[in-house]
Amino acid sequence: MSQLTDEIRRRKTFAIISHPDAGKTTLTEKFLLFGGAIQTAGAVKSNKITKTAASDFMEIERQRGISVATSVMAFEYADSLINLLDTPGHRDFAEDTYRTLTAVDSVILVIDCVKGVEPQTERLMEVCRMRKTPVIVFVNKLDLEGQDPFTLLDELEDKLEIKVRPLSWPISGGQTFQGVYNLFNKELCLFQGGKTKLSDERVIIKDLKDPMLDEYLDMHADELREDVEMVEGVYDAFDKEAYAAGHMAPVFFGSAVNNFGVREMLDAFVQIAPTPRQRTSTQREVLPEEDKFSGFVFKIHANIDPKHRDRIAFMRVCSGTFKRGEFFFHTRLGKKLKFANPATFMAASKSVVERAYPGDVVGLYDTGNFKIGDTMTEGEDLQFQGIPSFSPEIFKELRNDDPMKSKQLEKGVQQLMDEGVAQLFLQNPGNRKIIGTVGELQFEVIQYRLEHEYGAKASFHAKRYHKACWITGDELKLQEFRRIKHAEMAIDKDGLEVYLAPSSFILEMETRNFPEITFHTTSEFKTA
């Protein structure tokens, strides 16, 4: 077996996704604790962070107690090298999460057992289904009084449109929570509340008729036997191929804050989660085992360290071996670049990497060469697909409140837009800047970062637009459309024409009036 094949087989690259407050960041930290990557977990409570969460490293995240940018972390566990991408839970940052899902091979979806499936969870799952991404579900907060597990499973199947299969089962819940029975490897895991250490009591019970079960669980033993009998009767047996194809989601139960039920899921994850998979480019399918390197940029982050003004492009390696100091071909710019200090990450801390393999995420120090979606190869002219911008939902005009800092504002806006924090549309006359986002909180983040990272003061003024549509079609009809709609036309950061539709009614009317023009609500058409 070649070194490349061996390295690919060791790797598992996945994202943790959830609705806000489901316990995603806490679960992330418990994974890092089990992997020995950190020694103590941060606590995120009522938006006041007593110990900063390991994966939240932007100043505004520390103040607000929420994750607003995707963090990348690598750690070793059970002979596997795990690349974990912790995503923002807040719906206002959904686009960052959507892009992150293009860079992973599987997903762990965290559900709050009290609240069940929430709207943001459904939207995230839509993206997973679209990409046929394998999903493991972790039902969290079992130490609280939550919904009946069977009711939760029905809700998961109904709202997420996926077949589920429990691989662990809770024994009671809330005040009387006893632990979980691991259906995957027939172990009883007993719960001790308020634990901070990582050890937990495990008892191997291959047969639930074993009287040992009564000794440990007393009155809850028969309840567990009945529940497991029902699980085995109602749900199909776990099928690894169905999971890998995105058709079946294994479900685990636990309490991340108490380090409980997490190890069971992590042990199963390293056994069943897919290794790096092939990727689609505009030219062909790219296999990870190919000798020649290829990768794509799915995220850009400026000022990871404000003292040094770092701008880092996060690149997912898709095939071959990435080597420090070697020249690679930037397909959009058509030129070769080399990277003296490529980095791997443990949240905010970085270390220089000599080699990286398919599945790995590498941070490239960038002076402005990269945009999200850019492809790097060893010379082949190809472009990876599926990293779209979506039409924003809220539009505001950005105005400069300190003319003496115009250069700083220009630089800040350009860098933040390259990161994909929001979308910029330029309107004439006057080169007016219209910022489009998915949610209000993004404007707060932009304003905060412009002031604290670039020294520029700006304010936002609401604009009444319904959607941004990229337009393509017959040139004569496009000219006519531009003339009629000049007040609502704009240019995006890539120089493409965009129509800012004032309402759904007007957009529908223009679609009928100009059948020769296609109104695109995502930028996916650029690489189609």
Q: What is the pLDDT of residues 45-100, one digit of tens each?
A: 333 333 344 444 445 444 544 333 446 788 889 899 999 987 764 454 556 777 78
In this structure, are 307 and 222 located in the same domain? no
State both tokens at 278.
């092939």
Q: How far apart are CA 134 and CA 122, in angstroms?
A: 15
Last residue of a domain, one of 345, 377, 409: 377
Q: Clarify whether residues 333 and 440 are in a common domain.
A: no
Instruction: Indicate whether 501 pLDDT > 70.
Output: yes
Backbone angles phi, psi at 435, to 5 degrees: -100, 130
Residue 23 sits in the same domain as residue 139 = yes
* pLDDT above 60 (res 118): yes
Could you tell me if 243 and 113 lie in one domain? yes
Which CATH number covers residue 154? 3.40.50.300
Q: Identify whether residues 48 and 167 lie together within a single domain.
A: yes
Condensed to tens digits (0 to 9), the pLDDT of residues 318-364 reads 999 999 999 999 999 999 999 988 988 764 566 888 999 999 999 89
Could you tell me if residue 383 is inside a domain?
no
Which CATH number belongs to the domain containing residue 510 in this structure? 3.30.70.3280
Q: Tokens at residue 41, please? A: 């977990």
Under a CB-based contact definition with an 8 Å cutoff, are residues 478 and 517 in contact?
Answer: yes
Q: Is the pLDDT of residue 166 over 90?
A: yes
Determine how β-strand 179-182 pairs with β-strand 168-171. antiparallel
Q: Are residues 155 and 210 in the same domain?
A: yes
- Using CB atoms within 10 A of its CB, is residue 196 exposed (0-12), middle (13-18) or buried (19+)? exposed
Q: What was the pLDDT predicted at 296? A: 94
* 86 domain-assigned: no
The number of folded domains in the chain is 3
pLDDT at 39 over 80: no
Phi/psi at 370 (5° precision): -105, 145
Q: CA 443, CA 398: separation in Å to the nearest integer? A: 10
β-strand 135-140 against 248-253: which pairing, if any? parallel
As given in the structure block, the two tokens for residue 168 are 């662990």
Residues 114 and 221 in one domain: yes
Report which of 50, 247, 7, 30 is spatially closest to residue 138, judged by C-alpha positions. 30
Same domain for 46 and 151, yes or no, is: yes
pTM (two decimals): 0.78
Helix (H, G, I), strand (E, B) or coil at 178: coil
The last residue of a domain, from among 327, 346, 377: 377
pLDDT at 245 over 80: yes
Q: What is the pLDDT of residue 266?
A: 93
232 and 113 belong to one structural domain: yes
In a domain, 245, yes or no: yes
The number of C-alpha atoms within 13 Å of 325 and in the hemisphere containing its C-beta is: 3
How far is the C-alpha of 170 from the C-alpha of 143, rounded, in Å?
10
**What's the whole-number average pLDDT of the chain?**
83
Please give the residue range of the domain that contains residue 465.
394-527
Predicted local distance difference test score (pLDDT) of residue 50: 35
**Residues 267 and 284 placed together within one structural domain of the fold:** no
> Do residues 286 and 185 both lie within one domain?
no
What one-character-per-residue DSSP string does 101-129 give? Answer: HTT-SEEEEEEETTTBS-HHHHHHHHHHH
Task: Tell me how crowded residue 470 is: count the other CB atoms within 10 A of its CB.
Answer: 21
Residue 388 confidence class, pLDDT cut points 50, 70, 90: low
